[in-house]
Structure formats: C-alpha cells, structure tokens
Structure 1
C-alpha cells in the first residue's frame, strides 16, 4: 500500500473516531468506566505486589487482566457497530458489559484471547520481532469471530485466527504505524489531555480500521463470485447499506486455509 494512501486512511479513521468522541464524550466515559476502574485496580495491585504486600499475589491480577481484556473486546464490538451505523449512543453502562450478553461472545473471546497470547509468546521465544508481527496478524481474530456468530455462521477459533492473518496480510505495517501515531497523545495525557479521552479515541480508531478491512474483504469476495452463471438469490440491496456487514472477510474460510493453519499451531 502506498505510504500516502496509508496516511490518508489513517487520518480518516482518526477523524471519524474524533467526530464520535467529541459529540458523545459522556457516552464513551461511561462505556469505558468499568475498564478504567479495573485497570486502576490492576495497577494498584501490581504496585502493592511488587512492594512485597502479597494479598492474593499475581493470580488475581492475572484474572483481572483477563476480565479487562474481555470487557475491552465487548466494548470494541460496540464501537464497531457505531462505525457501521447499527449502534447508538444510549445505555453506555449496559453496553460496557456486552461481552456477557451472549455466552458465545464470552467463551469465544476468552478462548481467542488465550490462544493469541499463547501463539504470540511461542513466536516471541524465537525473537521479539516475530512475536510483534504475529500479534499484529492475530489482532482481528475476535472481531471476525463475532461477525460470524452474528451472521449465524460456524467458525472455529483457529479458523478465526487464520482469517485474521489473511485479513492483515499487507496491512500489518499500516496497523503498526497507526499505533505509533498515538505515542504523542500518550505523552500529552501526562501533561495536558486526560487518558479518559485518548484511550477511547485510540480504540474507536482501531474499530474503524477493522470495519474498513472487513468491508474491503467482503467486496473482494463479491467480485470473485460475479459472473453470468453465478447468481445468489439471497443478495439484495442491503449489501449497499451500512446497517450491518452482509459478509465477513472470507466467508468460506475453509477453502482459504490451505497450509496456513499449521503456522498458527
């Protein structure tokens, strides 16, 4: 991808995120409030544990970290829906716990969080750089898994990870640079701007990134199936609507796995 195109896309992702946040700051504040509280508890616990005050040790801190990751996954689902135009800015506290609204969301996200962590650690044992690259490649697995569930399609955990790798092919550097673009905002939080504005801004930008890549993948799949003898009677004008994703990235994923799946094991 051309650097200029990457920069233009990145500016658009961030501009859309700022537009949401500037108009609905109170919504995002309450949406992220449980995450802020638990993250503060983790930070306080780490400080106390490192000072030798072991009142539960690292076990409960690890558990809290997993809960924070699960809540963040659910909040990301909410932000993806906002970007797609199928969500609204009501009931932020309730939406904070979206991950618990459906058992498949919770179990699937938990399994993928653990699997991605395991795979990333194994790659990091080789060198740090391969671990970073793989963490970028696996970053969209939870969102792909959730999109399949919402469309009533079956998908395995390793399959979701494989699809994330394929989705991120050619986009890992873009995603990495997008993360780097928030370093200045991070420093600004120390002096000027509170993190309660910057963190939702960053996460909504990442959600916008996924929505764009998923839409591009769906368009590519549609183009592959076009032809005079190929007709899908279920297709209708909803494909042109922003109300919901009509196809996720590589809907017939089994045919795309080939030998790639063994790279995730």
Structure 2
C-alpha cells in the first residue's frame, strides 16, 4: 500500500503534518490547540485515536501547543530526543512515563512497514530535528525551521518523492518590515529560517528523478505571501535551468487549512 500524507497546518502560528501507511499513522508536531487539531483531522477524514504516535521536531510553541492535550486525550506515544524532552516538559504538562519515548538525532526507527529517519537542522532550539519517511521505495521529507540547508542535510533528504520545504520569508519584506532588528537578525541568521530564494537553491541541489511534489511551508504571515513565495522559488529554479511543472509541481500550505490527503 502507498503512503498518504497531508500538511495539516504550516506557518508561524502553528504546524502539524500527518502521514500514514497501511499499518501505521503518525502526526509530526501538534502546534495548534487540541480542538483545532481535531478539526484538521476531521477535514482529511482521519481519526486521531488511530495514530501510532506523535513525532516532535523541537520545543517552540508553534510546534507543540496542543501536544500535551492531544497525547493525554488519545493516550498517544510521543517521540522526541532527550534535549527536546527536557526543553518542552514544562510547556506540555504531565505525560505518563509509558507515553514518553526517545528518538535521537540521526537515527532510523522502523515501525512495521515504515522507516523514519531523523536528521538535525540549524535552528535556535535545544536540538531541533526533522524527519524523512521511507516506505516501499518512496520517500517523504519534512524540512522547516532551519537557517540553512547543509550538505549533510542535503545528502539525507536528496531525491525524495515529496518535500515539505521551508520557504519562510522574502528578504526585502523582512528587512523593510515592522519587526525589531533583533528579531530580523535572528530570522536571517544561520539558526533562523530559510528565505524563498535560499529554499529554491537548496531544492535545486536535492530534487531528483523521483521528486514530484514540493510543498512551500512555514511561510511568515508578516514577511511573505503565497504567490510571492511560489514566484520567487519558480524564478530562482528557472535561473538554474529547472522549470517548475515539468518534473515536479509546487503546492501551497496554509496555517489553518490542511492540504489534500495525497497518495504516493
């Protein structure tokens, strides 16, 4: 059976991603309220009680806001690395020991028909990491919340069938915008977020023959727009000789609406 996935929500206000195979289903991050998370699952026709577990990328609130509530209500296992557990424990409330699992960086865990690979990113969190999902020769990668995409990351994520790829900001909008300089500097730094142009340059290095879908994710509400992100990515790729729509397509994500449940 194929993999199915949906970007449930993506943006600076909350992030969540769903992926399933015939035997297992995972939520990556729960960055919206428990009620909002249930609404998103309802929109894609899935039931949270059927989840195998929740994978956590890092402790920032837009990734764990509803984590404790959802895990307690549905008695779900939570997987995170040791430093992330330490950083987020106060924020998510009491979680029973039976629900706490370690998933360290640069590990592969196998859940029946699904291999999940973790990899580190460069972000101002305790030990941020994202995931590549492998099932029957297909690969889905989530990579957001990183200031840059290193060669090591590129090696792990290359030639995926689908990417959920950070395209956080337009540099000009950010520089001219209302944020204080300290926040602008953080976003532009190596432990901040990837811009539209830098995202496209990284995509150019990792897309391969298998790549069919790229979702532009974690767009800033104040420093980006869907049309601008898509246009910037398309233009940057075109300057490198890659025409969007020929080999792969770009898709928008939304902070409040899930993408269509796609089959790979």
Q: TM-score range by the shorter chain?
A: under 0.3
Would you tell me which structure has more strand in proportion to its own residues? 2
Of structures 1 and 2, the larger Rg is shown by: 1
Would you tell me which structure has more helix in proportion to its own residues? 1
TM-score by length of 1: 0.27
TM-score by length of 2: 0.27
